[in-house]
Structure 1
């Protein structure tokens, strides 16, 4: 499985060089050169995000995205490379009704509602428990000044076993 986009191959850079070339700091003011780099980051199929296997939380915090969908595709790629599935969490809207914040969660986040365990008239057995209240997430927000999505919070620790590399295609 290829755990990095074609960016390193296309530009003739190694994955580490392409990552450093395309990462933007959340603390920097975004100028025209930074926006050009963001355009390089967000291609049509959402795969050009550089090397994701060895990324740390600090490396992920430096990423910026052209859209919320590109951020979700990046987190999905990160999840597959590390052995966990992802799903979209809650979001916040501004007064205009536009989404300005979104959370992406591990697929084992949360717990089954307790009322399902206490039913006396249950006719079937419970399905296997898949939720473990995992706290791993990535939260992104829209920077209205530069119109790019930046990473606000990343938690990479999971409270469950991760999927082996050979089984990742089943996520």
Structure 2
């Protein structure tokens, strides 16, 4: 029986040593910033996906004009905003991982979210080039499938990351010794 009580008292002490001590108000502020930036990122990605779909339904010179307007006034500023939101989400996620019991890569769902965030930010960078090329007429409009693929797959990744945040599936990356 004393072994159980010793294990219970040393396990939280060990977990506290692995965490970065942070005041509760600061942790909650970081959490709110993380949730707001993730929500903004998803909203911006939805808007960009809708704009790309609108451009894709057009034909001929009308399509070129739509893509020029999208690139100049909507998509590029939206994507830069999404990239900023994604980077804020990444930084606050890392801070939360260091400051909470979930850890940075202690649980599989947190590690997967970290990877998804990096992948989605990379996809945003890949998305900027084709839209700019389409607006200037450098890239043929038949290559629009790549832009549509990036937009919809980024939305799917962000949705999956949101599901991971709510359900917290799987377990620890490595089992803790008792």
TM-score, normalisation: structure 1: 0.28
TM-score, normalisation: structure 2: 0.27
- The structure whose RCO (Cα within 8 Å, separation 6+) is larger is 2
Bigger fraction of residues in helix: 2
